[in-house]
Structure 1
Amino acid sequence: MKTYRAAVIGCSRMGAFIDNEVPDYEAIKLPYSHAAGFFAEERTDLVACADLRPEVMEHFGNRYNVPKANQYTDYREMLEKEQPDIVSVATQPEHRAEIVVYAAEHGVKAIYAEKAMAASMDEAAAMVAAVEQNNVAFNLGTNRRWHTGFDKMKEIIDSGEIGKLRTLIIYSNGTLFNSASHHFDLILRLNSDAPASWITGYLPQGDSVFDGNALRADPSGGGTIQFENGVTAHALLTPRGSEWEAICDRGTVTCWNNGWQWHLRKQQDVPGWRNCQVPETFPEFERTSSTANLIKDLVHALDTGEPTRGGVRCAYASTELIFGIIESHLHNGARVELPLTDSKVRLQRNPTARQPRVE
């Protein structure tokens, strides 16, 4: 079978070295970084990388067997010379749209973009247009969409055994671009990517993070999302981190501690207590690497022409929820109808490049 040429743009933590930070964290099965995923996948050959820091690329090359001649400080030159089939864009969101659009318009067949999708809704829309016009397979690095535990959670919801899905809860939504990008994609997945019809939101930091239309920091944000199929989601800001719950007519299914524990409860009549939520056994599942699963999904799309599990429209939908929270805050918590129109806010930070843990 064909082996696809892969390249990584942005060689820092998620691009290449975050695996060094989580070797003993059972919530994450390795490989985790983009580069480690391509390096482990037998159907991909990691041939090149691009970053503004030659010293970081030197470590990248040593780890993933990418020669110095295939390390570029200009991603455009890399795309022209190496002609990769699959490109990872593991930069910060402020730079992502420009790179994704250029890659899609210059022959790349599949793109694995790190989250959050983009720094503005206009940039997200430009990414959608470029990807769709050039028939590019696309997945966003919201890894829980490819997590086998959440696959099982979705199977329970879809089976109807605990009734119709009514409510989804994110217990700790966190910062919108870094954390909520994950959470919003997960609730979209659990709700079969039903469109959202409106959203309300708030930013506890208030207006201090704004400079006109520029968002100078990634703010925490919470709110409520109403979906067209009647499901309501609540994005809370509690200390109960990395936990999610689906509430159905006749039971609940919950993930605790970022996938350590899974709980299924079903309604039953209990003598002396009437109608109760009674614990049931959550089905067994094989714990595998979500990054590996995401890359296999891209490879399958290239092999068959079938759509990926994620896709650029799913990425756009979760991005719209991020900016919906922001727009609601700017309008004093008012309900914002979706699809979102005329949002001019842009994430525009000046972060210092973080040095990855290379060993």
Structure 2
Amino acid sequence: MKRYRAAVIGCSRMGGFIDNEVAGSRWHVPPYSHAAGFVACPRTELVACADLRTDVMERFGERYHVPKERQYTDYREMIRREQPDIVSVATQPEPRAEIVIFAAENGVRAIYAEKAMAASLAEADAMVEAVERHGIAFNLGTNRRWSPIYEHMKAAIDRGAVGKLQTLIVYHNGTLFNTASHTFDLLLYLNNDQPVSWVQAHLPNDDVPQTGDILPVDPVGMGTIHFANGVTAHALLTARGLEVEAIGDEGSLTALNDGQEWLYRTRQVIDAGNRKGLVATPFAGVEPASSTLRLIEDLVHALDTGEPTRGGPRVALAGMEIIFGFIASHRRGGARVRLPLTERSLRLQRSVAPHQPKFDVQGAS
């Protein structure tokens, strides 16, 4: 069976070394980084990498057996010379659109892009256009979409375990680009990627300029998301960590501790007067598995069959619309904002040093 040639652009934390930070974690089943996923997948071969930092790239090459002659400081040269089938873009959001568009226009057939999708809605639009025009299989690194745990939760909701879905609640939202890109995508996934009608949000740190096209920080945000099918979602900032709850007219299902535990309650008769209340009901979970590997396998399946991926550029764009919708709502004093936005030029542009990856397993002697 055909093996697909893969290359990673951005050899740092998510590109190659985050596995060291989560070794032994119940929440993150290896492989977790892009490179580790390609090495683990029997249908892919990691053949090249690119990064501006040669020291980081050298350690990446040592770990994943990428020889010096296939380590590039110019990703364009790498794509032209190596002609990979699949490219991972594991950079920060600011340069991502330029890289994805170049890859799409220069022979790459599948792209695994880290989240958030891009630094602006205008750039995300350009990515969608390029990916769709060239027929590229595309997935964004919002990994819970490929987690068996949330796949199991979605299946329960779809078969009516809570009755008619009315409300979704995420109890941990964090910064919009880095963290909420995960939670927003999870809300979209659990609601079958229904269109979002409007959002209403608050950014408590008040560090977002009220005017101008430059966003100098990745802000923390919380708010409400209303879907076209009538479901309302609430993205909260709490200390509970990532927990998500689905509430319907016949019960509720909550994934606790990022899906490690479950609380399932169904509406049942609770007394002689036939009054109903929510009663705890057994709910069997599923074994976790590597969401990174499953995401890559989804790309491989798309390359094999021509079928769409579970993600895709339009799904990624929907998450971006929510991020910028939250910012727009805050700029308008917390007003309700309808999506899609007409203003698409606001751009994340930070002045931060690149993250130094953890080259060794955390806590190891």
Query: TM-score, normalising length from structure 2?
Result: 0.96
2:79 is matched with which residue?
Answer: 79
Query: How many angstroms apart in 1 are the aligned matches of 2:270 and 2:175?
Result: 41
Most deviating of 140-149 and 237-246: 237-246
SS in structure 2 of the partner of residue 334 of structure 1: coil
Q: CA deviation at 1:111?
A: 0.2
Q: CA deviation at 1:24?
A: 1.5
Q: CA deviation at 1:263?
A: 1.8
What are the superposed Cα offsets for residues 237-257 of structure 1, whole Å, 9 maximum, x if unpaired? 122211111101101111111
Most deviating of 14-23 and 336-345: 336-345
Q: What are structure 2's unaligned runs of at least 5 residues?
A: 361-365
Q: CA deviation at 1:286?
A: 2.5
Check conservation: 2:253, 2:262, Cα contact below 8 A: yes
What are the superposed Cα offsets for residues 155-201 of structure 1, whole Å, 9 maximum, x if unpaired? 11000132110001011211000000000000000000000011111
Write the mapping of 1:114-193 to structure 2, written as runs, cut at 5 A: 114-193=114-193
Q: Which amino acid aligns with 1:249?
A: D
Check conservation: 1:209, 1:217, Cα contact below 8 A: no
Q: CA deviation at 1:211?
A: 7.2
Query: How many angstroms apart in 1 are the aligned matches of 2:241 and 2:260?
Result: 12
1:276 is matched with which residue?
Answer: 277
Check conservation: 1:327, 1:343, Cα contact below 8 A: no
1:338 is matched with which residue?
Answer: 339
2:222 is matched with which residue?
Answer: 222
Q: CA deviation at 1:284?
A: 3.4
SS in structure 2 of the partner of residue 14 of structure 1: helix
Query: How many angstroms apart in 2 are the aligned matches of 1:60 and 1:272?
Result: 67
Query: How many angstroms apart in 1 are the aligned matches of 2:161 and 2:36?
Result: 38
2:363 is matched with which residue?
Answer: none
2:196 is matched with which residue?
Answer: 196
Query: How many angstroms apart in 1 are the aligned matches of 2:155 and 2:7?
Result: 34
Query: How many angstroms apart in 1 are the aligned matches of 2:210 and 2:256?
Result: 34
Write the mapping of 1:33-44 to structure 2, written as runs, cut at 5 A: 33-44=33-44
2:3 is matched with which residue?
Answer: 3
1:99 is matched with which residue?
Answer: 99
Check conservation: 2:18, 2:33, Cα contact below 8 A: yes
Q: Which amino acid aligns with 1:187?
A: L
What are the superposed Cα offsets for residues 6-55 of structure 1, whole Å, 9 maximum, x if unpaired? 00000001000000000111011000000000010000000000000111
Query: TM-score, normalising length from structure 1?
Result: 0.98
Q: Which amino acid aligns with 2:176?
A: L
Please give the root-mean-square deviation of Cα atoms over the aligned residues, in Å. 1.2
1:348 is matched with which residue?
Answer: 349
Query: How many angstroms apart in 1 are the aligned matches of 2:183 and 2:54?
Result: 34
Write the mapping of 1:235-274 to structure 2, written as runs, cut at 5 A: 235-271=235-271, 274=275
SS in structure 1 of the partner of residue 119 of structure 2: coil
What are the superposed Cα offsets for residues 133-154 of structure 1, whole Å, 9 maximum, x if unpaired? 0000000000000010101100
Query: How many angstroms apart in 2 are the aligned matches of 1:232 and 1:85?
Result: 39
Q: What are structure 1's unaligned runs of at least 5 residues?
A: none
Q: CA deviation at 1:74?
A: 0.2
Q: CA deviation at 1:335?
A: 1.1
1:358 is matched with which residue?
Answer: 359
Check conservation: 1:19, 1:30, Cα contact below 8 A: yes
| Residue 312 (1) aligns with residue 279 (2) | no
1:288 is matched with which residue?
Answer: 289
Following TM superposition, where does structure 1 have runs of at least 4 consecutive aligned residues deviating by more than 3 angstroms? 207-211
Query: How many angstroms apart in 2 are the aligned matches of 1:180 and 1:355?
Result: 22
SS in structure 2 of the partner of residue 169 of structure 1: strand
What are the superposed Cα offsets for residues 104-146 of structure 1, whole Å, 9 maximum, x if unpaired? 0101000000000011000000000000000000000000000
Query: How many angstroms apart in 1 are the aligned matches of 2:208 and 2:232?
Result: 29
Most deviating of 136-145 and 166-175: 166-175
Query: How many angstroms apart in 2 are the aligned matches of 1:229 and 1:249?
Result: 15
Query: How many angstroms apart in 2 are the aligned matches of 1:208 and 1:158?
Result: 38
Task: Work out the number of aligned pairs and report it.
Answer: 359
CA change 1:48–1:210 in 2 (3 A) is farther
Query: How many angstroms apart in 2 are the aligned matches of 1:284 and 1:204?
Result: 35
Query: How many angstroms apart in 2 are the aligned matches of 1:212 and 1:47?
Result: 42
Q: Percent identity?
A: 62
